[in-house]
């Protein structure tokens, strides 16, 4: 066995999250700011809604408040997904599934599907109120996973060039 066989190989270089040109487009885009505002807004709406849904499930009270909060959360989700798609087009040249955000976008589709299923159940009367709240909770679990994906991506972007990134960047299209 020679020394070359026993040595540890360096980790392969991974493609950076953003090329220099993508970073420039991201930093220049007003959609980056929009995403930076919508992401924490969506989280705040989620937190209030989660408390209302939990209250209904625990006590049977507050169905209307919980329902309104879920509908508001869903529309904020739609807004962040639409503007996030525009952001992705500006930065990466495609509306969805850019390599840098491929898996986040894939999971975002599950988040959208569950939130939309909730609206369909609500409007169509397909489920009992209790079942509707359980569906909302399932949608919220996927949202938390997706938001975590985006937060990890933000962290990775900041590690790549910490001094060059504005506070809102990398969270673009966040947390479907």
Q: What is the pLDDT of residue 136?
A: 98
Q: What is the pLDDT of residue 161?
A: 65
Q: How far apart are CA 113 and CA 109, in angstroms?
A: 6
Check pLDDT > 90 for residue 153: no
| Token output for 173 | 């299209």
pLDDT digits (tens, 9 = 90+) for 2-38: 444 454 444 446 678 888 899 999 999 999 999 999 9
Q: Could you tell me the pTM of the whole model? A: 0.80
Please check whether residue 23 is in contact with residue 164, taking contact to mean a CB–CB distance below 8 angstroms.
Answer: yes
Domain boundaries, the chain: 19-160
Mean pLDDT of 36-53: 96
Check pLDDT > 90 for residue 51: yes
Q: Which residue has the tokens 């989660």?
A: 50
Mean pLDDT of 80-88: 96
- Given CA atoms 36, 38, 39, 41 in this order, what sign does their dihedral have? positive
């Amino acid at each position: 066995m020679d020394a070359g066989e026993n040595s540890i190989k360096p980790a392969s270089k991974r493609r950076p999250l953003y090329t220099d040109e993508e970073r420039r487009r991201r930093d220049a885009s007003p959609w980056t700011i929009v995403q930076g505002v919508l992401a924490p807004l969506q989280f705040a709406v989620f937190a209030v809604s989660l408390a209302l849904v939990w209250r209904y499930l625990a006590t049977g009270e507050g169905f209307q408040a919980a329902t309104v909060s879920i509908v508001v959360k869903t529309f904020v989700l739609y807004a962040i997904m639409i503007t996030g798609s525009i952001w992705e087009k500006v930065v990466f040249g495609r509306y969805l599934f850019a390599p840098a955000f491929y898996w986040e976008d894939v999971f975002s589709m599950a988040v959208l599907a569950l939130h939309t299923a909730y609206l369909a159940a609500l409007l169509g009367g397909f489920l009992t109120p209790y079942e509707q709240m359980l569906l909302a909770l399932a949608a919220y679990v996927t949202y938390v996973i997706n938001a975590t994906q985006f937060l990890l991506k933000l962290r990775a972007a900041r590690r790549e060039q910490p001094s060059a990134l504005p506070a809102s960047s990398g969270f673009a299209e966040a947390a479907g």
